[in-house]
Amino acid sequence: MISLSTDEYAVFAELEGGVVSNVGCARSRGSEIQIHCNRTPVSSLAELARVIPQLLITTDSIELLTGGSLLRRQYIDWGVFHVKPEFGDLWRSAQRCIKQRNALLQTIHAPGLNTANAERLEAWDVQFVELANHIDVLRADYVVRLLPHVEQVLKQFGQMPKITLAYQRGWQGSLHEQLYVMREKDIQKGYTSLGPHRANLDLRIGQQKAFEVLSRGQMKLAIIALKLAQGLLFIEQTGRHPVILIDDLAAELDRNHRKELCGLLDEMGCQIFITGVDIDLIDVDWQNPSVVKKFHVERGVING
């Protein structure tokens, strides 16, 4: 964000249709980011994310299918965070519990536990389990509500195979019991092996993982469907619209699929920013071309 010839950056935006009317971010080299909403400092990026919910689709988004479970947890948590106000505090509290529990595990020498350490572990376990169960309920409910929207978007892309989504919470049965069973192994490893931080979203076509079956173009359509489904559910549950950011829209998509995507984006009624290196591949048949604005960036200078 900070170019080689400067020492800081600042970004400001005016917003319409919400309680907050303006936001700003600034940062100097070697300093923490500073954020203001309505000219009042805010303490975290999470607060800014609530003000300006964003859906990001890039060429790297394909890792949602091919990468590790962390990306799929973050995908679920984006949606839960924006529709369940209590989720942010729950997740931060759970993270603190995990950190404290792991620190304790690393001070205990296996085999065996003395009474004091066992009592300290139990105290953290009780708190962690309560938070984990609450997080699990919110995540599971979100995935259930999301599924119809994923199916709806996929149908608009023609000959796409049916993709199933299965939420995996990160443990089996009672978490309290499983933490007790896993204590010795957790002590040996030095970290908590079960909990909401191990959750996953299993995406399959039949019995195979989706990325093993889909072509590159189909994977991009699947990613777009997953992301836009979140936008549709967000609009449905909050009455607000996210900002949609798409980089290199044309990659792996033919003209028909680009038209289908742009038609869907038109219907959502969101503000959309699309970047690319070939204007002919972005300038497809929008339903209302009069609202489309084009900007050309060359050597850091914006024209448009």
CATH code, 192 = 1.20.1050.90
Q: Looking at the structure, do residues 127 and 67 belong to the same domain, yes or no? A: yes
Residues 71 and 177 reside in one and the same domain = yes
Which residue did the predictor score with more confidence, 288 or 212? 212
Average pLDDT over residues 271-275: 90
Residues 44 and 163 in one domain: no
Indicate the average pLDDT of the chain: 90
Produce one character per residue of 155-181: b if its CB has 16 or more CB atoms within 10 Å, e if not: ebbeebeebebebebbbeeebbebbee
Q: How far apart are CA 16 and CA 119, in angstroms?
A: 53
Give the mean pLDDT of 245-266: 85
Could you tell me whether strands 164-168 and 243-247 are parallel, antiparallel, or unpaired per DSSP bridges?
unpaired
303, β-bridge pairs: 296
148 and 37 within one domain: no
Largest Cα–Cα distance in the chain? 73
Q: How many domains does the chain have?
A: 2
Answer yes or no: do 57 and 71 share one domain: yes
Question: Whole domain around residue 199: which residue ranges?
Answer: 53-303
Average pLDDT rounded to a whole number, residues 218-225: 93
Asked if 36 and 58 sit in the same domain, the reply is no
Listed in sequence order, the residues at least 6 apart from 14 whose beta carbon sits closer than 8 Å to its beta carbon are 21, 22
Regarding whether 102 and 217 lie in a shared domain, the answer is: yes
Tokens of 203: 């995406």
**Contacts (Cβ under 8 Å, ≥6 apart) of 236:** 149
- Where does 15-174 show beta strands of DSSP type E? 22-28, 34-37, 40-42, 54-57, 164-168
Q: Are both 21 and 93 inside the same structural domain? A: no
Indicate if the pLDDT at residue 112 is higher than 70. Answer: no
